[in-house]
Chain A
Amino acid sequence: MMRIFNKSRVVILILLFLLLISMPVDAVSDLEKEIAKRNLKRYTERYGKAKLKPRVRNKVEKIFNKLASKAEKDAPDIDFKLHVVDTKVLNAVYLGDGHVMLFEGMLKATENRNQLAAVLAHELGHGVNDDIQDSIDLIQGIRLGSLLIDYAKDGQVNQEGPGFITALSWQLLQKGFSRKQEREADRYSVFLLEESNYDPAGTIGLMKVLKAGQERVNDSELLELFSSHPNVNDRINYLAGLVSKLKAAKELYYSPIATTRRLTTGLLRNDISVIYSTYSEMVHNNINLEKFKDNEQLIKIRKKIKEWQGQYRLSYSLEIRNQVEGTARVAITFFAIKNNVKQKFKQHKFKSHKKVKIHQKKKLHKFKKFDQLEKNGVFAIDLINEEYGWKVLRGPIMY
């Protein structure tokens, strides 16, 4: 009878456990808060707060606040806080509940703002990805499993008390994050740097600094960081791939040229929605699509382009004429090939296919030059780099 009663209690406990882990957790758990508090105390007592020069402190805080304000949008329940401790150890850790700890050794090792931002962004990534809570759940799951086995064996549980949290917090520090969690945090840091106007290549630079540190230092304590993190070379390769993909995508979709290309496509297709979508939020706040359609300057230009399209086959080139402090001036130059010239050109007969191509290029270039739309065919566009990429603020204006 007693055995059946014990078994049913075990089943209830298992069900309760499954129910608890399947519940979505939005806010930081009390356990995570407690663990973060204890580990913060542990590190601060061990190393003491770093005595930074006001200039250095301001720099670090400025970078951290800039990154944290963006990261908090991804994790609204977390209020990120930075602590710098006085030790030469090359490390930075996320302690949970928004507490990021930067070791002075790491601060000194970074060569520029982008690298420092990369360290902080990586730790913020652990916070946004809720890695501490995931690790707690994992450790708790293992502990609960062993407790259930004990309970099923002799009906006794040798557990909890204040020692449990201390052991758990120590285990978390010892265990560190998994490789998958580290990779996710690396990935997040690249995008966070990009979003906060730091160079994402700072993540690669940081890895190189860590690698140099790894080769230089023999002290096991100084190498604390490397014991828990994945292979530095792997991380460099992974980050380099990610950064180059991001840069290529940025060039293609998030550059003054890319936005102007979309605007020009809209003009050539006479698609007002496409044209309107390339404009800045400032323009959208002042003019809605209906009013935008009635813009006299734009009507004039659209008419002109339509007129050209009736006479010529239009082509265009885009050129950044100037780019300063998140703004850019791009020039659109329209070219035209007269329809009759096009037909005459097609009638030419050439002997070899290769020769045709070379000859065609030369001829086409000649015709384009000849038929360039001179003064009327060049427009200026002013753009601004906003939160969601480059947007048109002014233009097209005829030069």
Chain B
Amino acid sequence: MKKKCLLIIIILSLLIILAGCNGQGNLKVVVYDQQQNLISDIYVGLYTSDFQHRVRFAYTIKGEADFYGLRSGIYAVRIVGNNIEKETKVRIQSQETNYIKVTLSK
């Protein structure tokens, strides 16, 4: 009986861990200029952590670009606009909305 309980607990724990790993989260990128104004039309590309493949992209509207339903994990982010390019990495966690605030300046 004890063994069965232990087995069930282990399976449940594994399921929770797996569900946690495969969960989905959101990302909101907010882009400012040097004067801290929100800027539109900035490219925000979301890539696999090694920048090999683009997962999604968006252009900002009033400084914001939203990515919903992203699989949890580490992503690379490339932000391009006004002849400036910035790169960063972000960890997306399950059931959470992650924020990145970027100031585009030379």
Binding site for B on A (CB under 8 A): 321-322, 324-325, 327, 329, 331, 380, 382, 384, 394, 397, 399
Decide: A322 and B59 in contact? CB cutoff 8 A. Answer: yes
Decide: A324 and B45 in contact? CB cutoff 8 A. Answer: yes
Answer whether residue B76 sits at the interface, using C-beta atoms and an 8 A cutoff: no
Decide: B62 and A399 in contact? CB cutoff 8 A. Answer: yes
Question: Once bound together, how far apart are the Cα atoms of A13 and B59, in whole Å?
Answer: 70
Size band of the interface chain B makes with A: 10 to 19
CB distance from B65 to the nearest CB of A (A): 10
Contact of B54 among A321, A325, A397 (CB under 8 A): A325
Decide: A329 and B59 in contact? CB cutoff 8 A. Answer: yes
- Residues of A within 8 Å of B81, CB to CB, are 322
CB contacts under 8 Å to A, within B29-86, are 40-43, 45, 54, 57-59, 61-62, 80-81
- Residues of B within 8 Å of A331, CB to CB, are 41
Decide: B61 and A397 in contact? CB cutoff 8 A. Answer: yes
Decide: A399 and B80 in contact? CB cutoff 8 A. Answer: no
Question: Once bound together, how far apart are the Cα atoms of A329 and B43, in whole Å?
Answer: 8
- Residues of B within 8 Å of A399, CB to CB, are 40, 61-62
Question: Once bound together, how far apart are the Cα atoms of A384 and B57, in whole Å?
Answer: 10
Decide: B45 and A325 in contact? CB cutoff 8 A. Answer: yes
Decide: B57 and A327 in contact? CB cutoff 8 A. Answer: yes
Contact of B43 among A327, A394, A397 (CB under 8 A): A327
- Residues of B within 8 Å of A380, CB to CB, are 40-41, 59, 61
- Residues of A within 8 Å of B59, CB to CB, are 321-322, 327, 329, 380, 382
CB distance from B56 to the nearest CB of A (A): 10
Decide: B41 and A394 in contact? CB cutoff 8 A. Answer: no
Question: Once bound together, how far apart are the Cα atoms of A159 and B40, in whole Å?
Answer: 77
Decide: B40 and A324 in contact? CB cutoff 8 A. Answer: no
Question: Once bound together, how far apart are the Cα atoms of A299 and B91, in whole Å?
Answer: 37
Task: Identify 8 residue pairs between A and B in the complex whose beta-carbon atoms are under 8 Å apart, listed by A's number.
Answer: A321-B41, A321-B59, A325-B43, A380-B59, A382-B57, A382-B59, A384-B57, A399-B40
Question: Once bound together, how far apart are the Cα atoms of A327 and B81, in whole Å?
Answer: 13
Question: Once bound together, how far apart are the Cα atoms of A329 and B60, in whole Å?
Answer: 9
- Residues of A within 8 Å of B54, CB to CB, are 325
Question: Once bound together, how far apart are the Cα atoms of A219 and B80, in whole Å?
Answer: 51
Beyond A322-B41, A322-B80, A325-B57: 19 further Cβ-contacts under 8 Å? Answer: A321-B40, A322-B43, A322-B81, A324-B43, A324-B57, A325-B43, A325-B54, A327-B57, A327-B59, A329-B41, A329-B59, A380-B40, A380-B59, A380-B61, A382-B59, A384-B57, A397-B61, A399-B40, A399-B61
Contact of B42 among A322, A394, A397 (CB under 8 A): A322
CB contacts under 8 Å to A, within B12-34, are none
Decide: A394 and B58 in contact? CB cutoff 8 A. Answer: yes
Question: Once bound together, how far apart are the Cα atoms of A380 and B45, in whole Å?
Answer: 17
Interface centre among A321, A329, A331, A394 (most CB of B within 10 A): A329
- Residues of A within 8 Å of B41, CB to CB, are 321-322, 329, 331, 380
Question: Once bound together, how far apart are the Cα atoms of A36 and B59, in whole Å?
Answer: 51
- Residues of B within 8 Å of A382, CB to CB, are 57-59
Question: Once bound together, how far apart are the Cα atoms of A168 and B77, in whole Å?
Answer: 58
What residue of chain A has the Cβ atom nearest to residue B43's Cβ?
A324
- Residues of B within 8 Å of A397, CB to CB, are 61
What residue of chain B has the Cβ atom nearest to residue A325's Cβ?
B45
Question: Once bound together, how far apart are the Cα atoms of A324 and B82, in whole Å?
Answer: 11
- Residues of B within 8 Å of A394, CB to CB, are 58
Question: Once bound together, how far apart are the Cα atoms of A329 and B81, in whole Å?
Answer: 11
Question: Once bound together, how far apart are the Cα atoms of A384 and B80, in whole Å?
Answer: 16
Question: Once bound together, how far apart are the Cα atoms of A387 and B61, in whole Å?
Answer: 27
CB distance from B54 to the nearest CB of A (A): 7
Interface centre among A324, A325, A380, A394 (most CB of B within 10 A): A324
CB distance from A379 to the nearest CB of B (A): 10
Question: Once bound together, how far apart are the Cα atoms of A325 and B81, in whole Å?
Answer: 12
Question: Once bound together, how far apart are the Cα atoms of A322 and B31, in whole Å?
Answer: 15
- Residues of A within 8 Å of B42, CB to CB, are 322
Question: Once bound together, how far apart are the Cα atoms of A112 and B40, in whole Å?
Answer: 36
Interface centre among B40, B41, B42, B54 (most CB of A within 10 A): B41
What residue of chain B has the Cβ atom nearest to residue A322's Cβ?
B41
CB distance from A318 to the nearest CB of B (A): 14
CB distance from B61 to the nearest CB of A (A): 6
- Residues of A within 8 Å of B57, CB to CB, are 324-325, 327, 382, 384
- Residues of B within 8 Å of A327, CB to CB, are 43, 45, 57, 59
Question: Once bound together, how far apart are the Cα atoms of A382 and B54, in whole Å?
Answer: 16
Interface centre among A322, A384, A397 (most CB of B within 10 A): A322
- Residues of A within 8 Å of B58, CB to CB, are 382, 394
Question: Once bound together, how far apart are the Cα atoms of A394 and B57, in whole Å?
Answer: 11
Question: Once bound together, how far apart are the Cα atoms of A25 and B81, in whole Å?
Answer: 53
